[in-house]
Structure 1
Amino acid sequence: MLRFEDVHAGYGRSTVLHGVSLAVPNDGVAAVLGHNGAGKSTLLRAAVGLIRLRSGMVLLDGEDISRLAPHERVARGMAYVPQGQQSFPHLTTSENLRLVADGRRGGREAMAEALDLFPALRELMSRRAGLLSGGQRQQLALARALITRPRLLLLDEPTEGIQPSVVAEIEQTILSLAARGGMSVLLVEQHVGFALRAAERYYVLEAGRVTSTGDGGAGAEGTVRQALTV
């Protein structure tokens, strides 16, 4: 579905990614793990076109999308959920969702499907997003992305800074999305156990380089934790 081939990227004069190559399987999950500052968020921003590559390629279904604008990548089926439980704080939950759904073919049905995945949002439709808890805002951010019915979902630390009860719900939703097929996921995550349960393939980033990779699953946890302590 998505491939990075020898990607170098960064900000200003600073190069953050140094020759990164990785692949996200069709209808599957690839997880990227690493410490803060390893380049994980930069990787997602490069995938969605928010920063330009210095060299290398990003390919979606075999097409080089490295020069496409972010909205052109979205039109090809990409959806990006950045860190920080982002929403429009002065709009209600309902208004946040309708901004994505209205005018989109099948948008209302997709909105209903997203609410089925996050039923707690149904009781918060009239509440301003800025008054929601961090976990509720993250559910809202995920629901907004899913309304677009993406073929490729990019998730940046979806469980960061969220109360444990909501973390479990978000984890279960992502696992169920991965299991039902029809969508690929590139998951950046620091919770190693969850990431490996979800992922078919994992990549460990260190200082902008892939230092370890392998098949996902619980059996890989020891290897990954060792790679993260090196």
Structure 2
Amino acid sequence: MLEEAKTTVPKLALSNITSGYGPVAIIEALSLSIAPGQIFALMGKNGMGKTTVLKTILGFVALRSGDIRLDGTSMSGLSQASLISSGVGYAPQEQALFQDLSVRDNLRLALRSDRGFAQAVERVYGHFPFLRDRLSQRAGTLSGGEQKMLILGRALMLRPKLLLIDEISEGLQPSVVERIAAVLKEERRANGTTILIVEQNLPFALGIADSWAVLKLGRIDDAGEVAEGTAGRVLQHLKI
């Protein structure tokens, strides 16, 4: 008798989630599933609820209904500290750095103590070597592209198993976008990192993603696996 094929438990699963601010629901009955080691691109115009999805996963926006599961276990009620301990990393879009603190201090904030800092920061240097000589520099004096790389580097300090990234390519020159794309693909290849990336830069997002979805007014408008012709399909939904 043949054994039944084992079903892979999603790394992250959102089931009919609804969330929002005050009386207004921004996300309504949204579902998506991301397999372990997959890069998933969530795209859409501004104001469609993409960032709210990430903040709901992290508990910054209250979940009104539905369920969010990490490795098959409900994330309901977990604190941000517990999520970090569970291997969740976050690279936010806005107010992400302490501008007056040094590069080192910003990286250090990813850890509970100095223990393990040297080892963790060496991993970051492997992706962004320029940071090695900038540890004492104030984060606010870095260029826009350097700040985005610092934000991502900080998120990688704890070698996350699930990495949530919000609009990291916004306003960056192509060479920096290419570098970030290479880092994310290497993290997935070397560490099996699962990545949910919110983006409007379609060439960047679809260049690294395995699967995608377009968000429109808090709902999934379309979704699929990345393949030839995907960019045109996404553009039709975005009406660009």
> Where on the TM-score scale, by shorter chain, does this alignment land: which range?
over 0.9
Match of 1:18 among 2, 8, 28: 28
- The answer to which of 17-26 and 93-102 deviates more is 93-102
How large is the Cα RMSD of the aligned pairs?
A: 1.7
* SS of match in other structure, 1:162: coil
Contact 2:177 2:204 in 1 (8 A): no
- 1:177-215 deviation digits (Å, cap 9, x = unpaired): 233342100000111122112111101000000010000
- The answer to which of 5-14 and 120-129 deviates more is 120-129
- The answer to which of 102-111 and 61-70 deviates more is 102-111
Paired amino acid for 2:192: G
Contact 2:108 2:114 in 1 (8 A): no
**Partner of 2:160 in structure 1?**
150
- State the Cα distance separating 1:94 from its structure 2 match: 1.8
Contact 1:49 1:73 in 2 (8 A): no
* SS of match in other structure, 1:100: coil
**Partner of 1:171 in structure 2?**
181
| Structure 1 unaligned regions, length at least 5 | none
Contact 1:198 1:217 in 2 (8 A): no
- State the Cα distance separating 1:83 from its structure 2 match: 0.3
Q: After TM superposition, what 4+ stretches of structure 1 lie above 4 angstroms from structure 2?
A: none
Contact 2:167 2:197 in 1 (8 A): yes
Q: TM-score, normalised by structure 2?
A: 0.90
**Partner of 1:211 in structure 2?**
221
Match of 1:115 among 121, 125, 135: 125
Separation in 2, partners of 1:13, 1:99: 34
Separation in 2, partners of 1:85, 1:52: 20
- State the Cα distance separating 1:219 from its structure 2 match: 3.6
Q: Say yes or no: does 1:60 pair with 2:83.
A: no
Contact 1:101 1:108 in 2 (8 A): no
| Structure 2 unaligned regions, length at least 5 | 1-10
Separation in 2, partners of 1:217, 1:174: 19
- State the Cα distance separating 1:102 from its structure 2 match: 6.5
Separation in 2, partners of 1:91, 1:48: 25
Q: Say yes or no: does 1:227 pair with 2:228.
A: no
- 1:152-181 deviation digits (Å, cap 9, x = unpaired): 000000111223332221122122223334
Contact 2:19 2:26 in 1 (8 A): yes
**Partner of 1:95 in structure 2?**
105
Separation in 2, partners of 1:147, 1:45: 20
Contact 1:199 1:217 in 2 (8 A): no
**Partner of 1:43 in structure 2?**
53
Separation in 2, partners of 1:188, 1:104: 31
Separation in 1, partners of 2:228, 2:168: 20
Separation in 2, partners of 1:43, 1:104: 32
- The answer to which of 73-82 and 105-114 deviates more is 105-114
**Partner of 2:140 in structure 1?**
130
- State the Cα distance separating 1:149 from its structure 2 match: 1.1
**Partner of 1:139 in structure 2?**
149
Q: TM-score, normalised by structure 1?
A: 0.94
- State the Cα distance separating 1:95 from its structure 2 match: 2.2
Percentage of matched positions with identical amino acids: 39
- State the Cα distance separating 1:85 from its structure 2 match: 6.5
- State the Cα distance separating 1:104 from its structure 2 match: 6.1
Number of residue pairs matched by the alignment = 230
Contact 1:102 1:108 in 2 (8 A): no
